[in-house]
């Protein structure tokens, strides 16, 4: 993914970065209630780009596993960004929001 065809993503507004990440996480992520984390498999060729996009939107991710390589981050961060689209209200979105600490204003 790190080539001229995808460099636009790094300079895109955050709402477009989040929309891209939501599509990735909605389609492939696993919500782990036991460890309170969200993991998504990422091909090695896309790993750095996904980590940088997550960093750009304020998340800190870890790389776990080798086959497949997974990017992992906490439930709180997944809910805050949000990595699952609130308009869709998917099962994954509902799981993450039910495990996350409610935000008080």
Q: Which domains does the chain have, with CATH numbers?
A: 7-99 (3.10.28.10)
Neighbours of 79 (CB within 10 A): 21
Please tell me the pTM assigned to this model. Answer: 0.87
5-58 pLDDT tens trace: 567 777 889 999 999 999 999 999 999 999 999 999 999 988 988 999 999 999
Question: Would you call 52 helix, strand, or coil by DSSP?
Answer: helix
HSE-CB for 9 with a 13 A CA cutoff: 22
Question: Residue 21's CB: how many other CB atoms inside 10 A?
Answer: 23
Write down the pLDDT at residue 1: 46
Rounded to the nearest 10°, the torsion over CA 38, 43, 46, 48 is: 60
């Amino acid at each position: 993914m790190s080539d001229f065809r995808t460099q636009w993503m790094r300079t895109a507004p955050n709402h477009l970065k989040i929309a891209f990440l939501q599509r990735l996480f909605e389609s492939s992520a696993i919500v782990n209630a036991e460890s309170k984390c969200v993991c998504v498999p990422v091909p090695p060729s896309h790993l750095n780009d996904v980590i940088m996009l997550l960093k750009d939107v304020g998340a800190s991710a870890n790389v776990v596993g080798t086959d497949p390589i997974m990017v992992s981050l906490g439930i709180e961060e997944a809910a805050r960004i949000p990595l699952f689209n609130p308009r869709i209200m998917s099962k994954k979105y509902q799981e993450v929001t039910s495990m996350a600490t409610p935000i008080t204003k």
